[in-house]
Amino acid sequence: MLVRTADNHYIIEHVIAGHWSPAKRDEIILRTARGDAQRYDNQVLIYVEQEGGSGGLEVSRQLVTKLAGFPIYSDNVSGARSRTVQGLRVPGQAKVVRALPLAAQAEIGNVSILAGSWNADELDQLSAFPESSLNDIVDACCGAFAKLAGRSGSDWVPPTGEQREGVAQGAERFGGRLMDLQKTRRARGGRGF
């Protein structure tokens, strides 16, 4: 979950990642959609990345159907998704280019991450990107950022209710603290973001 504050700061609030069966994956996606909708007064937009080919189209359509009642959209991302370097499959040029806008915002301190049990996996992927085969979390964050950053002020619905309390109070409300993404990455010796 990536949110944009009223002053255009970006906060990675939580990441749910894993390797599940299709049924378990769909259950987790539905549970997450329900929780996010409840937390944010049904204002969360959901995007499902549509993989290339007819199989990707079918999976995307199935997820959109399973999440009927939520604002869900397919996101068709094109370009070379991977390349091979010394026998290791790493992100392709399309994923690297897609990551640049979020990386630029992180570099100037405009992206924070809410402290949580999932931070180690997120920071490991962000720090190793693009020289690692593990990049699903990076790709999801970059896709979410592209959707939030691409929305103009006229079509963006500002936070309501408790969300107006501010970034620090929001972090406290969710039981964590905010960390500057770029400083945290450097402290861990990362090369990526």
Helices (DSSP H) in 76-163: which residue ranges?
93-107, 119-128, 136-149
Q: Would you state the torsion angle of the CA atoms of residues 146, 149, 150, 153, taken in this order, to the nearest 10 degrees?
A: 160
Tokens of 81: 């998704």
Tokens of 99: 């990551």
Q: Give the relative orientation of helices 119-128 and 136-149 as an angle to the nearest 10 degrees.
A: 90
Terminal-residue alpha carbon distance, the chain? 18
pLDDT in tens, 151-173: 544 344 444 444 434 434 443 44
- pLDDT category of residue 181 using cuts at 50, 70 and 90: low
Helices then strands, counting H and E runs in the chain, come out as: 7, 8
Domain ranges of the chain: 2-187
- pLDDT category of residue 30 using cuts at 50, 70 and 90: very high
pLDDT in tens, 118-130: 888 888 888 888 7
Report whether pLDDT(70) > 90.
yes
- pTM for this entry: 0.71
Distance (Å, whole) CA 36 – CA 147 = 17
Q: Is 164 helix (H, G, I), strand (E, B) or coil?
A: helix
Report whether pLDDT(23) > 60.
yes
- pLDDT category of residue 81 using cuts at 50, 70 and 90: low
CB 13 within 8 Å of CB 174: yes
